[in-house]
Amino acid sequence: MDRVFVTETQDKQFEVVRALDLKTGKQIWETQWEGSMQVPFFAASNGSWIRATPSLDGDRLYVAGIRDVLVCLDASSGEILWKVDFVADTGSPLPQFGFASSPLVHGDHIYVQAGASLAKLDKLTGKIVWQRLKDDGGMYGSAFSSPIVATIAEVEQLIVQTRTSLAGVSPSDGTVLWTQDISAFRGMNILTPTVVGNSVFTSCYGGRSTMFTIDRQDNDWKVTEAWSHKSQGYMSSPLVIGDYIYLHLKNRRFVCLNSATGAEQWTTTPFGKYWSMIGNGSTILALDESGDLLLIQASPEEFKLLDRVTVGDNAWAHLAVVGEQIYVRNLDSIKAFAWK
C-alpha cells in the first residue's frame, strides 16, 4: 500500500505498532497492547523486544507479539480486529526466547510457529483450525524459523523448520508428509529453509549446511541428503541466485556454495553478526546489524563488494526495498534512502 509498518517494545511494558507514510515518514496511526518479557541472559545482548516481521494481507496486518500472541489489525486504522494468546488459549508454555517466527498468510488462513507447534488459523477470525509438530515449548521448544509455501514433487506444502527437524506439511489438513532430523546446538535452527527445485537447503548453528532432495512415489515420501558442507548458518536466511547459494555464517563470514554439489566457491573475512539480504538480478543488497549496507556482485568466481555505506546502527530488522527506496529499521528510528 502507501505505508510502512514498524513494531517496537516500549518501556519494557508495551508492544507498539506504527503505520508511517511511505514517502514522508509521517505517522498515520499507532496501536499498542501490554506485552513484554526478559529473554535468557545469554540471548539478552540481542534485546528483549518484539521479534517477528509483520505480514500484510490486503487490509489486514498480522503482528506476532513476543509473549506468543498473534494480533490482527485493520491496516487502515490500526484497530485491533482479533488477538490470539497461545499461552492462555492452548495451555502451551511461554517461549523463553519469545515469538520469533514471522506469520505466513496463504489463501484464507495464516500459519505460525506458535503455541509450541505449527498452527493454522482462520485469517478473518483468528480461530485455530489445527496444530501440528508439537513440542514442549519453553527453553528448548518453540521454533525460531519462519514457514514458507512451496511445491515439491508437484505437491503444494508448507516447508517448516522446528528446533529439531525439517518437515513438509499439507496446508489443508496438517498431514505431515515428511520429516528430517536437523541437529543443532540447543536447537538453534533459526534461518528460513530455502527451496531449490525439489530440494530444500538449510544450515544451523552448531551443525552443518545441508541440501536434502525430496522424492515422492504415490503417497510415500523419501528424504535424501544430496550434500553437506561444514559451514554453519545462524540467523541470516540465504539467497539462491542462479546455481549458487549465498549465506552469511555464524562465524560472520560470507560463503558461496554450489547448489548442485555443495562445493565451496569462496568465503570471506568476517563482517557483522547478522545480515538481512535481498537479491536483485545479479546483485545482492545486504544489511548487517551494525548498520553497514553492502552492495555485492553475485559471482561464484570471487567475492565482489561493489559499494558500502553506513546507514545507521543496531539494524537487526530485515531490510526492505520498494522500487528505488530502501527502508532501514534501526533500534531507535526508521530511515528511507534512495537507491539509484
For the stretch 165-207, pLDDT in tens is: 999 999 999 999 999 999 999 889 999 999 999 999 999 999 9
C-alpha grid cell, residue 232? 554453519
CA–CA dist 165, 160 (Å, integer)? 8
Flag whether pLDDT at 130 surpasses 90. yes
Question: What pLDDT is recorded for position 206?
Answer: 93
Strand partners, 297: 283, 304
Determine phi and psi for 321, rounding to 5 degrees: -130, 130
The percentage of residues in the chain with a pLDDT greater than 70, rounded to a whole number, is 100
How many helices and strands, by DSSP H and E, does the chain display? 1, 30
3-state secondary structure of 310: strand
**Which pLDDT score, from 0 to 100, does residue 288 have?**
95
For residues 256-264, average pLDDT: 98
pLDDT for residue 213: 98
Rounded mean pLDDT of 22-41? 94
* Percentage of residues in the chain having pLDDT higher than 90: 89
Question: Which residue type, as a one-letter code, is found at position 118?
Answer: L
Q: What are all long-range contacts of 199-205, with beta carbons under 8 Å and residues at least 24 apart?
A: 199/226, 200/152, 200/159, 200/166, 201/238, 201/240, 201/245, 201/259, 202/161, 202/166, 202/233, 203/231, 203/232, 203/233, 203/238, 203/247, 203/249, 204/232, 204/233, 205/232, 205/233, 205/234, 205/250
Task: Please give the residue that has the higher pLDDT: either 293 or 313.
Answer: 293
Asked if the model's pLDDT at residue 157 lies above 80, the reply is yes
Rounded CA gap, 76 and 313, in Å?
A: 30
* Cα atoms in the 13 Å half-sphere on the side-chain side of 26: 4
Distances (CA, A) of 290 to 67, 276, 295, 312, 333: 27, 12, 15, 7, 14
pLDDT mean over 126-138: 96
- Please state the rounded mean pLDDT for residues 58-83: 98
pLDDT for 257: 98
Pairing of strands 275-280, 80-85: unpaired
Confidence label for 44 from pLDDT (cuts 50, 70 and 90): confident
Radius of gyration of the chain from Cα atoms? 19
Average pLDDT value for the chain:
95
d(CA 146, CA 141): 14
